[in-house]
Amino acid sequence: MRRRIVWAIAPILLIAAGAVTWHFMRPTPKAALDRAPAAASAAIPVTAGTSETSDFPVYFTGLGTVQAFNTVTVKVRVDGQLNKAAFTEGQDVKAGDLLAQIDPRTFQATLDQAKATKAKDEAQLENAKLDLQRLLKIGQFATRQSVDTQGALIRQLEAQVQADAAAIENAQTQLDYTTITAPLSGRTGLRLVDAGNIVHATDPNGLVVITQLQPISVVFTLPQDQLQDVIKQMASGPPLKAIAMTRTGQQQLGEGTLALVDNQIDSGTGTVRLKATFPNEDHALWPGQFVNVRLLVRTLQQVVTVPSPAVQRGPNGMFVYVIKDDSTVAMQPVTVTAMTGGRAVVEKGLDAGTRIVVSGQYRLQPGTQVQSGAATADNSGGP
């Protein structure tokens, strides 16, 4: 029975095997052969751009921290009960504005007492001067000793009156200290002491911290290799412009000027610290904030520039892919002298108006056919 089944199925299997073999071994149709070269020679899509002649600003970029221009911890200078806190937390104050008031009664009494003591001593001095005049009028009937003694008493009382005047000034100063005013214009922080508490001149925390926000400073770092360029430009021209950017570099926070360069290089990091000053009129910069600082060092006049992504690095140096008239590309060696803000300055190897490949170079080689599209703003690079 099994032999009959095998002999019945064998012809069917032979026919199926022959059909499969014929399908894969048959000659390729002419239409398919014509399509193969066309597919192999398809143009590669790339993003194209054009080299331009323009002024090129050279920026140095560093990471910085915003610092208040001035920071003052307001402390009391006399002991007493805090009667009133006259400021609101987060309030903008001006120099001389009332911040707090300490109970002044004890200090007022001390001042009044000093004034009374001076008045008493002045009366004694006046009487001593009159006695001296009487002694001088009687002439030979007054002894030399009595005249000298009276003159010494007058000088003693004059010194006492001067001491009384100093005591009055001291008492007046202590009384003035009970009225606490803002030492500078700025913004108050959290209130550290509430009204009703006894405060002391030795208290470590103070009443409030005032920070000056206008103007404001940014301390940032640059590599030591860029230091000489910065110093040279500072010595030869106006203050260098500094631009504060967000950490992402997408938003400008303010413009200012470079104020100083630190007097030493950090040997551990090979960087130097610089400080820039910003007007900060809109309070976009805040103490403790991390920012990116772009320092405008100089501006190159009418140079050939290309988008930074167009510049490639190869075994023999930098190059760009130039798009020829027949839409094929060629490698063009270039000399790049500066690269910032998404643009690169080409000193040698490229003329203005030359079409180049901005992106899509990873699939290219000399002679490759390309299909180009215009470069967009995204290809210009970040700040």
For the chain, which domains are there? 2-40 (no CATH), 44-54+302-380 (2.40.420.20), 60-70+213-301 (2.40.30.170), 75-210 (2.40.50.100)
Work out the average pLDDT over 367-381.
65
- 339 pLDDT tier (thresholds 50, 70, 90): confident
Average pLDDT, the chain: 86
pLDDT of residue 377: 45
Work out the average pLDDT over 6-19.
54
pLDDT of residue 41: 55
Work out the average pLDDT over 49-75.
92
Measure Cα distances from 131 to 56, 141, 148, 184 in Å.
92, 14, 12, 54
- 139 pLDDT tier (thresholds 50, 70, 90): confident
Length of the chain: 383
pLDDT of residue 31: 45
Closest CA to 247 of 298, 283, 285: 285
Convert the pLDDT of each residue in 206-242 to its tens digit.
Answer: 999 999 999 999 999 999 999 999 999 998 888 999 9
How far apart CA 50 and CA 370 sit, in angstroms, is 15
Convert the pLDDT of each residue in 78-101 to its tens digit.
Answer: 999 999 999 999 999 999 999 999
pLDDT at 262 exceeding the cut of 90 = yes
- 126 pLDDT tier (thresholds 50, 70, 90): very high
- 381 pLDDT tier (thresholds 50, 70, 90): very low
**Contact in structure between 271 and 344 (CB atoms under 8 Å):** no
Query: Which range among 35-44, 57-66, 199-208, 306-315 shows the weakest confidence by mean pLDDT?
Result: 35-44
pLDDT of residue 360: 87
- 342 pLDDT tier (thresholds 50, 70, 90): confident
How far apart CA 39 and CA 43 sit, in angstroms, is 9
pLDDT of residue 12: 58
- 311 pLDDT tier (thresholds 50, 70, 90): very high
Q: Please give the model's pTM, rounded to 2 decimal places.
A: 0.68
pLDDT of residue 132: 84
Convert the pLDDT of each residue in 104-122 to its tens digit.
Answer: 999 999 999 999 999 999 9
Q: Is 214 left (phi over 0), alpha (psi -120 to 50) or beta?
A: beta
pLDDT of residue 37: 46
- 250 pLDDT tier (thresholds 50, 70, 90): confident
Convert the pLDDT of each residue in 13-37 to its tens digit.
Answer: 555 555 545 455 554 444 443 444 4
pLDDT of residue 222: 95
pLDDT at 142 exceeding the cut of 80 = no
Convert the pLDDT of each residue in 166-187 to its tens digit.
Answer: 999 999 999 999 999 999 999 9
pLDDT of residue 378: 42
DSSP string, 67-98: EES-EEEE--SS-EEEEEE---TT-EE-TT-E
Which residue shows structure tokens 């021209």?
Answer: 237
